[in-house]
């Protein structure tokens, strides 16, 4: 077992759909006990049941990363039920429809920054406190995006938030290294999920896909090894403050 996640406790945020469901599944398949977190409890419970039916260990927890109180409550419950965390996949995120920077409302700006950047900080900080208290080190993987590294039209709020997440990872990594906590970003390119399905099913979305050198969207399986590498204390032991880009060559 190269990634060696037996007996690890992992929290995956944004685990009610899309990439988060896949991340929860692959961590569970490697032996971790996985806590799936998001706001839609019914969808979370479906994902949890699916993992448990396949022989994994999973539970669901209600979490709104944009709400300080909700994060505090969720982490109090995690501490009570599990004592600590070994792995955080800080993955919850939102995006609004493509909007010109000239027309973007401050509400849209705040919604995306509050969820994708402030929410990521809030959850990473709470997880790091648990990890530091337990003294066993840990791994934090923040789902950033290629849009944290390069520009994309009509998404100034999203791009700014994701660039913030890349630097958040680097900065946390530098500070938390002495506690044996590694912090890295995963920067996916284009994977079909609820966040983008309307766009990729539209004519302009289909044209966009032809601009990706691979000329297709990525598949969930293509994120498996990158995610496990960053999450694993053994396989990814010398990776800290960095990011892995999985984007079909853009
Ligand atoms: P989805 O829309 O399928 O998933 C988003 C997840 O985030 C859902 O589980 C949603 O759950 C959760 N979420 C949203 N807001 C909150 C909140 N306030 N509190 C807690 N959970 C929240 O999209 P993806 O799976 O694609 O997105 C996952 C991450 O990957 C995001 O950070 C996204 O930016 C990033 N990403 C995605 C790419 C792609 O091509 N799909 C590419 C690059 C990055 P709920 O609504 O139940 O709370």
* Helix, strand or coil, per DSSP, at residue 114: helix
CA of 15 to the centre of ligand 1 (A): 8
227, 186 in Cβ contact below 8 A?
yes
pLDDT of residue 10: 99
Which residues, including other chains, have CB under 8 Å from residue 13's CB and lie 6 or more apart? 20, 37, 38, 63, 65, 88, 89, 90, 91, 92, 123
Q: Is 92 in the pocket of ligand 1 (CB under 6 A)?
A: yes
The side-by-side arrangement of strands in the sheet containing 243-246 is 57-62, 33-38, 9-13, 87-90, 138-143, 181-188, 243-246
Q: What is the mean pLDDT of the chain?
A: 97
* Whether the predicted model's global pTM rises above the 0.95 cut: yes
Q: Tens of pLDDT along 168-205?
A: 999 999 999 999 999 999 999 999 999 999 999 999 99
- Domains (ranges, CATH) in the chain? 9-246 (3.40.50.720)
DSSP tag of 116:
I
CA of 111 to the centre of ligand 1 (A): 13
Residue 158 a catalytic site member: yes
- Asked if the model's pLDDT at residue 135 lies above 90, the reply is yes
Complex ipTM more than 0.95, yes or no = yes
pLDDT of residue 153: 85
* Helix, strand or coil, per DSSP, at residue 183: strand
Q: Per-residue confidence at 154, pLDDT binned at 50, 70, 90? A: very high
Q: Is 138 in the pocket of ligand 1 (CB under 6 A)?
A: no
- Asked if the model's pLDDT at residue 1 lies above 90, the reply is no
Closest CA to 78 of 121, 49, 37: 37
- What is the rounded average pLDDT of the residues 142-150? 98
Q: Tens of pLDDT along 93-107?
A: 999 999 999 999 999
Q: Is 93 in the pocket of ligand 1 (CB under 6 A)?
A: yes
Among 25, 40, 92, name the best residue to mutate to test ligand 1's pocket (greatest count of ligand atoms within 8 A of Cβ).
92
């Amino acid at each position: 077992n190269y990634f060696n996640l037996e007996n690890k406790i992992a929290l995956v945020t944004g685990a009610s759909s899309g990439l988060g469901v896949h991340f929860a599944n692959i961590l569970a398949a490697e032996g971790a006990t996985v806590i799936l977190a998001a706001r839609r409890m019914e969808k979370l419970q479906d994902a949890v049941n699916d993992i448990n039916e396949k022989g994994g260990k999973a539970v669901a927890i209600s979490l709104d990363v944009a709400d300080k109180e909700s994060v505090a409550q969720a982490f109090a419950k995690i501490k009570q039920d599990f004592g600590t965390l070994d792995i955080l996949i800080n993955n919850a995120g939102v995006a609004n429809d493509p909007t010109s920077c000239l027309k973007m409302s401050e509400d849209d700006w705040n919604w995306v920054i509050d969820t994708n950047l402030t929410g990521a900080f809030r959850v990473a900080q709470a997880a790091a406190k648990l990890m530091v208290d337990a003294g066993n080190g840990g791994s934090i993987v923040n789902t950033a995006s290629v849009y944290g590294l390069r520009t994309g039209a009509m998404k100034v709020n999203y791009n700014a938030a994701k660039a913030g997440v890349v630097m958040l990872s680097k900065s946390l990594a530098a500070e938390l290294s002495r506690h044996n906590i590694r912090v890295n970003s995963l920067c996916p390119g284009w994977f079909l999920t609820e966040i983008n399905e309307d766009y990729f099913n539209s004519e302009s979305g289909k044209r966009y896909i032809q601009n990706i050198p691979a000329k297709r969207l990525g598949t969930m399986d293509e994120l498996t090894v990158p995610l496990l590498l960053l999450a694993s204390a053994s396989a990814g032991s010398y990776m800290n403050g960095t990011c892995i880009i999985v984007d079909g060559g853009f």
